[in-house]
Amino acid sequence: MIDGVHLAQRACWHRPTNQIIGLCREHSEPFNLAMDDMDSVLKIVEAVHGDSPTCHYGREATVLAIGPYRETHYHGVPIGQTQTCKSEKGPGFAALLKMTLEEWKTHGEPHSGPILTVSFDGDPVFRDGAFDVLMIRTPDKSSSLSLKLSGCQGLNLECGEDDIVIGPDGKHIVKRASIS
């Protein structure tokens, strides 16, 4: 489950990692975020507050959470969050989603099982990026996903690697339907 959460725009010192946090993921990569020398800190100050900013505070946190498919105790548990200045386009979000799925496969799946679906709201950047990751192939005809869905005429059967599909967000589908 993926959603954006509004943030107070400011930087902080994360003591456990000795890192500056709170900057946008789109533009902070070139900078040394470790609080180990004053020159690096001043470069970040100039990048954020200078006349021509090249880096920004995060305006929104992209929160990634995971939850089990079952009737009880299905709460979402956050597994990651990252700040965006909202300049990101679909390909940037697709890279974040792809990395998250790969990391889960390596570190989460052995203990908690595979990811089956990825759900998010109507955010156009999320939708654009997710289509690049989760609408790239059709499942093998012998897969359990294909066996369950192949009889549904007219249903788009595209999915991502490991048969992960985009999960519909019922509330937003109803909202869109009621507007149109």
Q: Which is nearer to Zn ion, 60 or 163 (CB)?
A: 60
Stretch touching Zn ion by CB under 5 A, among 18-26, 63-71, 140-148, 163-171: 18-26
Q: What whole-number distance in Å separates Cα of residue 2 and Cα of residue 64?
A: 5
Of the candidates 85, 97, 134, 164, which one interacts with Zn ion according to CB under 5 A?
Answer: 85
Shortest Cβ 7–Zn ion spacing (Å): 13
Number of residues that bind Zn ion (CB under 5 A): 5
Candidate ranges 16-24, 98-106, 114-122, 156-164; the one touching Zn ion (CB under 5 A): 16-24
Q: Which of residues 35-64 bind Zn ion (CB under 5 A)?
A: 56
Q: Does 105 bind Zn ion (CB under 5 A)?
A: no
The residues that touch Zn ion, with contacts defined as CB under 5 A, are 24, 26-27, 56, 85
